[in-house]
Amino acid sequence: MADGGGFGVAAAKVDEARLWQRHVDMAKLGGTPRGGVRRLALDANDIAARRLLADWARPHGWQVAMDAIGNLFIRRPGTDDAAAPVLSGSHTDTQPSGGRFDGIYGVLAAFEAMEAIAAAGIRTRRPIETVVWTCEEGGARFPMGTMGSGVFVGRTPLADARAVADYDGVTVGAALDAARAALADLPERPLGFPIAAFVEAHIEQGPILEERGLTIGVVTGIQGARRFRVDVEGADAHAGTTPRARRRDALSAAVAMVGALEAVFHDDPSDTVRFTVGRFVVTPNAPAVVPGHVSFTIDFRHPDEAVLTKLGDQVEPICKANARACAVTVTQTSRGKPVTFLDPVPAAVEKAAAGLGLPYLRMNSGAGHDAGPMQIAAPSGMIFVPCERGISHAEAENATPADLAAGARVLAEALVELAGR
């Protein structure tokens, strides 16, 4: 295969219509009546998404493999095929009422970029791989986000990840075994093999690019996050006969906890703190019974590690101070430090955007992504494209075909730069 030439040749081969159609095809796997997608980590639709990608890779002759945590890799060889590859991708799982672009865009943009590079006749020195990371969406099914990338870089032991259970008691290990059985024809890749760089394309998950009329976000970092699960244990009791003084009302105590937490976490004039109670489960959830158990989650984010520590460390004492007659257990389910992406990845993305004449902005991400843990293994970075009205993690999530294709063009050129000739 001849080398296809200089800058811009790969970008010119990105097929906007094909990229859009593949989003349409993927949206059928877990599609909701309101136009969104519910494709939870390692469920049947998530496994089917991996199968579809493998089928698309087959005509190219690209190797498709899966590692022990279920991460999927689609490999385009390099002229030095023993060299550490450049990876690009994201995730196929969504939130329970998720959209059509969060996660899957990064996977499809990477696959499209690989196809464009091949169509341009470009041979890179390093292999380039499209990757699907397992269970990025922490809490949607399993209470551990960026699981696949975290295990890949060694941040989370494989055995610990396999032991995590969803709210129905199904473990990651059982779900992985089912995925492996369904994809038994795919060879297994070593866990955590060396890589040269990682680039993740994504919708912005905010309104900044759209509001400023910009096409590309050159992402230079990710704010930190701490997540907690709070279990409040009271006692079921008859709603009509139990005096208030004798009640151990778990719901009442949990509401008091949330109110006290909000008073502390929302006391921020700059509106930088992000504090969310995202899941609230009441048991037995019956009209005539005083609730005996409540479980709720806390998602807390901030770009400053000192603030993450100072405020996050107050969660447990605040909850205990408002437990009333109940017992309370606070479990930190994950902690991610703020991440700064270092060159060469942001530089390659910026060079590609500028070279293609696309208006861009260097910016930080307010959301967690697989590129965060991947920075442990190799230089990493991200490309953002605009998301309509900044909506994400919702069925109304939307992006234009033109913006999606522009991001794929930037990605294609950045991958050529990073993989070398």
The fraction of the chain above a pLDDT of 70, given in percent, is 99
What local confidence, expressed as pLDDT, does residue 4 receive?
A: 66
DSSP 242-287: S-GGG---HHHHHHHHHHHHHHHHT--TT---EEE---EEEES--T
Give the model confidence (pLDDT) of 323-336 as tens digits: 999 999 999 988 88
The percent of residues above 90 in pLDDT, for the chain, comes to: 95
CA dihedral 132, 415, 208, 272 (to 10 degrees): 60
Residue 16 has pLDDT above 70, yes or no: yes
* Averaged pLDDT, 369-376: 96
Would you state the structure tokens that stand for residue 66, as one six-digit string?
């899966």
What pLDDT, on the 0 to 100 scale, is given for residue 269? Answer: 87
CA–CA separation, 243 and 287 (whole Å): 16
Cβ-contact 300, 229 below 8 angstroms: no
- Taking residues 11-28, what's their average pLDDT? 98
Half-sphere exposure of 264 toward its Cβ, with a 13 Å CA cutoff?
A: 18
- What's the confidence (pLDDT) of residue 1? 40
Residue 299 is which amino acid?
D
Nearest to 166 by CA among 254, 299, 43, 30: 43
Average pLDDT of every residue of the chain: 96
Reported as a single tens digit per residue, the pLDDT across 52-95 is 999 999 999 999 999 999 999 999 999 999 999 999 999 999 99
Reported as a single tens digit per residue, the pLDDT across 260-277 is: 999 999 988 889 999 999
Q: Is residue 196 very low, low, confident or very high in pLDDT (cuts 50, 70, 90)? A: very high
Beta strands, E only, 141-233:
197-203, 216-222, 224-233
Taking residues 11-25, what's their average pLDDT? 98
pTM above threshold 0.75: yes
Closest CA to 341 of 206, 143, 157, 202: 202
